[in-house]
C-alpha cells in the first residue's frame, strides 16, 4: 500500500487536487496499484488551521510518505502573515532537501493548435527544465529589509552546483543527450562559478553535449526556437521565470507539472503555477498540471509507466476532441474536463 500525502493548499490548489485524485482513483480501480491518501494542511490553509504555513503535524506526516502531492499555496489574505505561505513553501523545500525541480515541457502533435505560437516553431517541442530549488537568491543570507533599503543574496557553492548539474546530465543521458546551461556569467560571480562547475561536471559525461546561454538570450530563444532545447539546467530564480515563460509553448500555465527531488526524502510533485486567486472557486482551473504531476509520481516514485501512459493518453484524447478549460480557449469547467477524462479511461 503506497502512502501518498496530499497538501491541497490554497486557491485553485484544492480544486485541481480533487480532480487529479478522482482521475487516479478511476485509473487504478481494479488494478494492483493500491494506495492511501492522507491530506494535511499547508500554506494559507496551514495558517488558518494551525497558525503556521508548515505545521508540525504536516512536517511529521511528510517524513512517512512514499510520495507527496502539492496543489498550490498563497493568496492576498496571507500577504501580511508573520510567516507567509510562500515562506512555508521555501521552508518545506529546504527541510526535505528538494534540490532538483524537474519541469517537462512537451507539446503533443495532436494539441499543437492550442499553442498561441506559430505551429512551425513549436511543433515537436520536448524539453525538461532542471531548476535548482534550494539555493540562490530565494535562500541566501543576508536577506532583510531596513527602511528604504532591502537585501537579497544570491548564494551558491561548488557542491550545490555540482549536485544539480549531475542530476541534469543524468536526465540528458536518458533523453537526447544535450544540456543547455543557463546563467548570467557576463555579470554575476555566482554564474561564473556555475559555468566553471558545469564544465567540470560535463567531463564526466562525454556522451552529453553541453552549451551555455545567458539567461536573457535564453528567454528569447525559448519561445522562438523551443525545439532546440533538450535539457535546460539553471539556478533557482532563472528556472522559476523561464519555466512560466515556457508554458506559453503548449498554451497555458495550467498544463505544466513538476517533480521536486530529494536525495534523502520522498519526492514531491506539484504544478509549476501558483494558487491563481483570480479564478479560484469558479471551476475554471485547468487540472492538467496536477494530473500530470500525478503521472510523474506514478512513473518516478512507483514505476507505474502503463498507468501513467493510460492517464496521459486519456487526457490528450479528451483535449484533442475539443474539451478543455477556459485558459486554453475552451468552455469545459474543471469538473466537465475531469468527468470527460474519467469516461475516456472507463471506455478504454
- If the CB atoms of residues 78 and 156 are measured against ligand NAI, the closer one turns out to be 78
State the minimum distance, in angstroms, from the CB of residue 278 to ligand NAI.
5
Closer residue to Mg ion (CB): 55 or 254: 254
Q: Does 80 bind ligand NAI (CB under 6 A)?
A: no
Whether 103 contacts 113, CB under 8 Å = no
86 makes contact with Mg ion (CB under 5 A):
no
Is 89 a residue that touches ligand COI (CB under 6 A)? yes
User: In the bound complex, what is the minimum distance in angstroms from residue 277's beta carbon to ligand NAI?
Assistant: 6
240 or 327: whose CB is closer to ligand COI?
240
Q: Is 276 annotated as a binding residue?
A: yes
Least separation in angstroms between residue 298's CB and ligand COI is 22
**Cα 50 to Cα 10: distance, rounded to the nearest angstrom:** 14
In terms of CB distance, is 191 or 286 closer to ligand NAI?
286
Q: Is 132 in the site for ligand COI (CB under 6 A)?
A: no
CB 254 within 8 A of CB 221: no
The secondary element (H helix, E strand) that includes residue 147 is: none
Residue 52 vs residues 145, 256, 274, 328: alpha-carbon distances, Å? 22, 28, 19, 35
Q: What SS3 state is found at 104?
A: strand
Find cell 480557449 and name the residue: 329
The three three-digit cell numbers of residue 128, written as one number:
525538461
Is 192 one of the annotated binding-site residues? no
Rounded Cα gap, residues 227 and 348, in angstroms: 32
- Contact mark string toward ligand COI, 282..321, x via CB under 6 A: ----------------------------------------
Least separation, in Å, of the C-beta of 140 and ligand COI?
A: 14
Site residues for ligand COI, 47-76, by CB under 6 A, read none
262's enclosing H/E stretch is strand 259-262
d(CA 218, CA 230): 13
Q: Residue 241, SS3?
A: helix
- Which one of residues 230, 240, 312, 327 is an interface residue with Mg ion (CB under 5 A)? 240
The residues carrying an active-site annotation are 138, 184, 216, 240, 244
Alpha helices in the chain (DSSP H): 13-28, 44-50, 56-63, 85-96, 119-122, 158-173, 189-202, 215-224, 236-246, 288-300, 305-320, 334-347
CB of 188 to ligand COI, least distance (A): 19
Query: Which residue ranges make up the site for Mg ion (CB under 5 A)?
Result: 240
Query: Which residue ranges make up the site for ligand NAI (CB under 6 A)?
Result: 12, 16, 72-75, 86, 89, 253-254, 270, 273-279, 285-286, 289, 327
Binding residues: 93, 103, 131, 216, 240, 244, 274-286
Binding residues for Mg(2+): 216, 240, 244
Amino acid at each position: 500500500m503506497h502512502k501518498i500525502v496530499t497538501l491541497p493548499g490554497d486557491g485553485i490548489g484544492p480544486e485541481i487536487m480533487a480532480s487529479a485524485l478522482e482521475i487516479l482513483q478511476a485509473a487504478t480501480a481494479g488494478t494492483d496499484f493500491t494506495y492511501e491518501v492522507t491530506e494535511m494542511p499547508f500554506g494559507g490553509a496551514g495558517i488558518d488551521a494551525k497558525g503556521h504555513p508548515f505545521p508540525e503535524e504536516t512536517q511529521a506526516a511528510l517524513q512517512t510518505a512514499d510520495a507527496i502531492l502539492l496543489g498550490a499555496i498563497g493568496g492576498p489574505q496571507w500577504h501580511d502573515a508573520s510567516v507567509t505561505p510562500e515562506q512555508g513553501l521555501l521552508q518545506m523545500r529546504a527541510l526535505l532537501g528538494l534540490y532538483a525541480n524537474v519541469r517537462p515541457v512537451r507539446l503533443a502533435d495532436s494539441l499543437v493548435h492550442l499553442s498561441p505560437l506559430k505551429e512551425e516553431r513549436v511543433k515537436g517541442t520536448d524539453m525538461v527544465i532542471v531548476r535548482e530549488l534550494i539555493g540562490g537568491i530565494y535562500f541566501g543570507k543576508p536577506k532583510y529589509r531596513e527602511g528604504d533599503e532591502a537585501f537579497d543574496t544570491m548564494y551558491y557553492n561548488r557542491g550545490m552546483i555540482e549536485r544539480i548539474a549531475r542530476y541534469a546530465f543524468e536526465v540528458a543521458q536518458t533523453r537526447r543527450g544535450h544540456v543547455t546551461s543557463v546563467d548570467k556569467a557576463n555579470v554575476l560571480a555566482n554564474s561564473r562559478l556555475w559555468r566553471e562547475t558545469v564544465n567540470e561536471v560535463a567531463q564526466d559525461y562525454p556522451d552529453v553535449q553541453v552549451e551555455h546561454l545567458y539567461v536573457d538570450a535564453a528567454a528569447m530563444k525559448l519561445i522562438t526556437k523551443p525545439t532546440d532545447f533538450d535539457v535546460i539546467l539553471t539556478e533557482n530564480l532563472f528556472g522559476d521565470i523561464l519555466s512560466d515563460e515556457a508554458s506559453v509553448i503548449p498554451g497555458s500555465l495550467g498544463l505544466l507539472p513538476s517533480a521536486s527531488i530529494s536525495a534523502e526524502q520522498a519526492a514531491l510533485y506539484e504544478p509549476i503555477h501558483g494558487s491563481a486567486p483570480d479564478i479560484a472557486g469558479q471551476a475554471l482551473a485547468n487540472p492538467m498540471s496536477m494530473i500530470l504531476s500525478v503521472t510523474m509520481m506514478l512513473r518516478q516514485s512507483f514505476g507505474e509507466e502503463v498507468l501513467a501512459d493510460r492517464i496521459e493518453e486519456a487526457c490528450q484524447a479528451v483535449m484533442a476532441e475539443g474539451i478543455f478549460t477556459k485558459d486554453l480557449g475552451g468552455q469545459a469547467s474543471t469538473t466537465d474536463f475531469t468527468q470527460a477524462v474519467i469516461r475516456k479511461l472507463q471506455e478504454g
